[in-house]
Amino acid sequence: MTSTFFGLNTAMRALMAQQQALDVTNHNMANANTPGFSRQVVSFVTTPPYTVAAFNRSASAGQVGTGVEVSLISRTRNIFVDQQIRSEETELGRYSVRRDSLNQVQTIINEPSDVGLSTILSQFFTGWRELSNDPQNTAARATLRQQAGNLISTLHRDYQELTQIRADMNKQVQVKVDDINSKASQIAALNAQISAVQAVGDQANDLRDKRDVLLDDLSSVVRVSYNEMSNGSVSVFLDGHALVDGAGTNTVGTALNANGDDILVWPDSGSPINVISGEIKGYYEARDDVLTKEINQLQDLTSALITQVNTIHRAGYGLNGTTGVDFFTGTGADDIAISADIQGNLASIAAASAIDSPGDGRNALAIAGLQDTAVTIGTSNTTIGEFYKSMVSELGVEINGASNLADNQDVLVQYLQRQRDSYSGVSTDEEATNLIKFQRAYQAAARIVTTFDETLNTIINNMGLVGR
């Protein structure tokens, strides 16, 4: 038979195992609201049994249990859901940047409004129409010049702000490159720590949680793939090249493309990185598609306005008999200005179609008619007003589409995150139940220790006293 101390040792194992389970439960509850924390679970196993040797027992194997121990403290994690979330977060990052960029453009265009380009254009053409009714009126000429100045200021403002946003998008690409390199370095450092912990047979649960958060964040910036090695480290790949390899990293850099914009490259070879999704892809699209298109359309509109107004204006005559005078100078929204002749002398505004005809306003009326006359703008044949309305309309359609994509993607990511939370998240109610369960088991083990203490006391202090 076993000794009395055998049972005491079994109870001691129970106390230690339940104490460790209580510690893990405490850790779970403490991190119930920690982002990225995965619920940890204690796995109990029986310790190797003890074969009882005795003269009066059969030769067949006889075993007595020796208690319990904690074999593993594991974290609850669904790898498949993690992969889904990271894949969808990549698309969410792309669509969100595109949506936000379009909203910025919409704020600049500011249509419909009383201060938008559409209203300012209408006021400019109205000024010519009013001048045609009274060509000799100095006030009408001054008003027209003021309206032209307002138009120029609006075009300059729109161009400069659109150009600034485009430049900001380019800077964001550089910022995100630094972010990629920082996260890659942190993942590599965690790889080294996790490998060291796993090498001695322990589970680096909290370190793995931190690494998973970094993988989530990295996936929203740019699409990456990854796989876990046998030593616990992960290798992260970007466009088929290793970004993180164990405890080492390959740095991402930037270089200028043919348009003078920053793109991602591998510094060691200079080869461009094919970015297919993520926030950086969104910045690419916002910079190269959305903003470039808006700037080019604004330039085309302004160029057509300058050309058409100047063509008609040069054919007319001012009150001072001047002809062949341009009303505007410049080639686009970036450099359009009122010509020095008009700026210096209101009489040079060519409202008349014939010389020495101060009451003739036909040339001014012809310029006013440009508002409703189809002209060549870029690759389109339409009126200046309709071209701008088309710009605004297309922008509205793109904003609506981008918002829908971003909102739908956000709903999908939130759904997947709820799935992850239902599996990996900490339920305080469940942990409270576990707390009671492990507490009661600890108390029972403690009671066993007390019982064996009383037994040993009887053997040691009370046996052999009879007959003394």
Confidence check: pLDDT of 62 > 60? no
Confidence check: pLDDT of 61 > 60? no
State the amino acid at position 180 in one-letter form: I
Confidence check: pLDDT of 59 > 60? no
**Alpha carbon distances (Å) from 290 to 102, 104, 107, 299, 379:** 7, 11, 14, 14, 18
**Cα-Cα-Cα-Cα dihedral sign, residues 200, 205, 206, 209:** positive
Residue 451: per-residue pLDDT: 87
Confidence check: pLDDT of 25 > 70? yes
Instruction: List the alpha helices (DSSP H) in 328-427.
Output: 340-344, 362-368, 384-424
H/E run at residue 293: helix 292-315
Centroid of chain to Cα 210: 19
Calculate mean pLDDT across residues 196-220.
Answer: 93
**Alpha carbon distances (Å) from 155 to 337, 399, 413:** 10, 22, 40
Calculate mean pLDDT across residues 103-128.
Answer: 89
Residue 54: per-residue pLDDT: 59
Vertex 131: Cα angle to 129 and 135 (nearest 5): 140
pLDDT digit string, tens, across residues 406-452: 999 999 999 999 999 999 999 999 999 999 999 999 999 999 888 88
Residue 461: per-residue pLDDT: 79
Closest CA to 35 of 435, 432, 424: 424
Residue 464: per-residue pLDDT: 67
State the amino acid at position 139 in one-letter form: A
* Three-class SS state of 329: strand
**What average pLDDT does the chain have?**
91
CA distance 368 to 230: 77
pTM for this prediction: 0.86
Confidence check: pLDDT of 58 > 80? no
Residue 436: per-residue pLDDT: 95
Residue 1: per-residue pLDDT: 54
Q: Which range has the worst mean pLDDT, 184-198, 298-312, 441-455?
A: 441-455
Residue 202: per-residue pLDDT: 87
Confidence check: pLDDT of 223 > 70? yes
Tokens standing for residue 370: 């440009």
At residue 456 the predicted structure's pLDDT band, cuts being 50, 70 and 90, is: confident
pLDDT digit string, tens, across residues 384-414: 989 999 999 999 999 999 999 999 999 999 9
CA distance 380 to 284: 26
Calculate mean pLDDT across residues 227-244.
Answer: 93
Confidence check: pLDDT of 53 > 70? no
Q: Which range has the worst mean pLDDT, 302-316, 355-369, 448-462?
A: 448-462
148-181 per-residue burial string, b: 16 or more CB within 10 A, e: under 16 = bebbbebbbebbeebeebbebbbebbeebbebbb
Residue extents of the structural domains in the chain: 4-76+427-462, 85-410
Residue 175: per-residue pLDDT: 94
Calculate mean pLDDT across residues 5-12.
Answer: 83
Confidence check: pLDDT of 55 > 70? no
**Alpha carbon distances (Å) from 208 to 22, 74, 202:** 22, 11, 12
Say if residues 327 and 349 touch (Cβ distance below 8 Å): yes
